[in-house]
Amino acid sequence: MATMGALVPTLASTLLLVAACASSPPPEPRIERVEVAAVDGGSVVPPASPVAAADPEVTPAGYTTDARVGFARAEAAFARADYDKAERDYRYVATHFPYALSAKEAELRLADIALARGQRSEAARAYEEWTVKHRSDPRLPEVHQRALDAKRDAH
């Protein structure tokens, strides 16, 4: 059993450590730098990450971050109705990050772009491909309906 004399230095050093931690500012948040490259006439997308497995535990660091950055850029272009840039960026995400959730969304948005351009047959085909590829997605009935509507409007 420790004596009171042995506890005093330990308690004193603990209090000093706590005081030192409390007085120092919190560490700066780590900001990850994402380098970009111009592709196809100025469309800016993140550089390709290594191919990753579907298991997030073995996914290289930055894989989903890069996919989300590319997807966000595509969404911004889509919102501005810059369909050419949006299409390039969505395709980039879908092909370079096939295991990221953003890739599934990018595939759906490519069909939306075809529909926005009035390419009803292409949109219907893209929606149908999406429903086959993503059978467990809860939005399946909605996307299937989009395919039927686009096919109906194409004729």
Residue 144: per-residue pLDDT: 94
Using a CB cutoff of 8 Å and minimum separation of 24, what contacts does 9-15 make?
none
Q: Write out the H or E segment, with its range, that includes residue 4.
A: helix 4-23
Task: List per-block mean pLDDT (blocks of 10 residues) for the chain, which spans 155 residues.
Answer: 53 57 53 43 42 42 78 94 95 92 95 96 96 94 94 82
Rounded Cα gap, residues 30 and 53, in angstroms: 25
Joined tokens for residue 109: 């948005």
Residue 65: per-residue pLDDT: 78
Please state, in angstroms and as integers, the Cα–Cα distance from residue 102 to each residue in 60, 63, 79, 133, following that order: 16, 11, 17, 14
Rounded Cα gap, residues 78 and 39, in angstroms: 17
Strands (E), the chain: 37-39, 43-45
pTM of the model: 0.60
Rg (CA), the chain: 25
Per-domain residue ranges of the chain: 37-154
Topology given in CATH for the domain delimited by 37-154: 1.25.40
